[in-house]
Amino acid sequence: MNQLINVTLKVNGTEVSRPVEPRTHLIDFLRNELALTGSHAGCEHGVCGACTVLVDGEIVRGCLTLACQLDGADVVTVEGLTESGAIADLQTAFHLRNALQCGYCTPGMLVAATAILGQQPPATREEIREHLSGNYCRCTGYEAIVDAIEETAKARAAGRALAQEGA
């Protein structure tokens, strides 16, 4: 239990190396070792989605992933997505639609949403609801979140269509 394993991985574009206990979950590694507190621990059972981050481009649960599994991995959190501007449109849509209240689920919602924003044709409301079925929000009743993601998905699809016409 006390034996430490050295891991080297990329987090939000920066390489980090740390010795970790085998039992350390990714969410605790991010929050406690790297002070990336945007991702949250909610249920610790992989049900609520508050700890959702990207690992090698796939959305994963930070509470079900061990840090020692991630040697060589590329991890992106809400902080990274924010700094790169990759989800600026989605964040603005959330803001204008008030698709968050307490904000605790929001980083996980945003990261989870990235996986369907590129879909062509854009995801329907039903598909968005289904896709978010692993992300718990106690505050909003979800409708505003679905609205914001739907709007962003449509805008991105229209933008791509325009870009293709122009090409």
Residue 95 as a binder of another protein (CB under 8 A): the answer is: yes
Q: How many CB atoms lie within 10 A of CB 114?
A: 18
Candidates 77, 114, 117, 151: give the one binding another protein (CB under 8 A). Answer: 77
- Answer whether 116's CB lies under 8 Å from 153's CB: yes
DSSP code at position 45: S
- Candidates 140, 116, 118; CA nearest to 130 is 116
| Shortest Cβ 126–another protein spacing (Å) | 8
Angle of helix 143-166 versus helix 88-97 axis, rounded to 10:
140
d(Cα 44, Cα 161) in Å, to the nearest integer? 40
Taking contact as CB under 8 A, which single stretch among the options 54-62, 88-96, 116-124, 157-165 is the one that binds another protein?
A: 88-96
Candidates 133, 158, 160, 161: give the one binding another protein (CB under 8 A). Answer: 133
Candidates 82, 89, 119, 157: give the one binding another protein (CB under 8 A). Answer: 82
* Cβ proximity to another protein, 40 vs 122, nearer residue: 40
- Answer whether 54's CB lies under 8 Å from 75's CB: yes
Task: By CB under 8 A, name the binding residues for another protein.
Answer: 2, 21, 23, 31, 35-40, 42-45, 47-48, 50, 77-79, 82, 91, 94-96, 98, 100-107, 110, 125, 128-130, 132-146
